[in-house]
Amino acid sequence: MADRHPTRVLISREQLDTRVAEMARQIRADYPGNLHIVAVLKGAFMFMSDLVRNMEGSVSMDFMAVSSYAKGTTSSGEVRLVKDLDTALDGRDVLIVEDIVDTGLTLTYLQEILRARNPRTLRTACLLSKPSRRKVDVGVEYVGFTIEDHFVVGYGLDYAEQFRNLPYIGVIES
Ligand code: IMP
């Protein structure tokens, strides 16, 4: 298991750059004022950093960490809050930045706990979505790429904590 590695590039560095810049422009057009970004660690760190580098104006950031997968490529279905936010969300325009929506369980949990903190608006941006794997219907306003049912790594996403550093999205064959 541990010696599995990506065998092909699914989304290149250039495709990521172009699409992330496009998403940033769209989000900024929808939210021209203060935007508060909540990035979900660890998977969203690279996406978030490229996204905000493409945004001008007032953007603040906070981080939370959840654990949804133990190790390997199958979901446990359990979501645990590992690190909470440092600041309150009341009255703010909040954008959740997530790496990938798979079953949708993690995002549903996150949206529920963040909505309970009374933000003015709450939207979600995900780099990747695997709709064929969805177990719960969850709303995502901004999706970078819709992909087939592959286990992917790179650009922040891991397999057993490896490959987050790859500058592209690669596929791990099962
Ligand atoms: P969900 O709760 O099943 O939607 O899973 C969401 C989380 O599982 C993501 O935030 C990722 O951390 C992880 N995940 C789901 N699919 C993949 C994948 O293909 N590669 C790496 N991590 C994944």
Active site residue 102: yes
Q: Do the domain assignments include residue 55?
A: yes
Atom of ligand 1 nearest to the CA of 99: 10
* Pocket of ligand 1 contains residue 108 by CB under 6 Å: no
Supply angle C-alpha 51, 4, 104, rounded to 5.
45
Q: Do the domain assignments include residue 29?
A: no
Is the pLDDT higher at 87 or at 3? 87
Q: Do the domain assignments include residue 165?
A: no
* Pocket of ligand 1 contains residue 102 by CB under 6 Å: yes
Site to substitute for ligand 1 among 69, 74, 82, most atoms within 8 A of C-beta:
69
Report the C-alpha gap between 135 and 142 in whole angstroms: 19
Question: Using one digit for the tens of pLDDT, what is the confidence trace for 113-169?
Answer: 999 999 999 999 999 999 999 999 999 999 999 999 999 999 999 999 999 999 999
Owning domain of residue 62? 37-69+77-160
% the chain with pLDDT above 70: 94
Q: What's 105's domain CATH number?
A: 3.40.50.2020
Distance from the alpha carbon of residue 118 to the mean position of ligand 1, in angstroms = 26
Report the C-alpha gap between 69 and 98 in whole angstroms: 15
Residue that is written with structure tokens 């177990």 in the block: 135
Count of the separate structural domains present in the chain: 1
Beta strand segments in 7-157, E? 8-11, 35-41, 59-67, 80-83, 93-101, 121-129, 142-146, 151-153
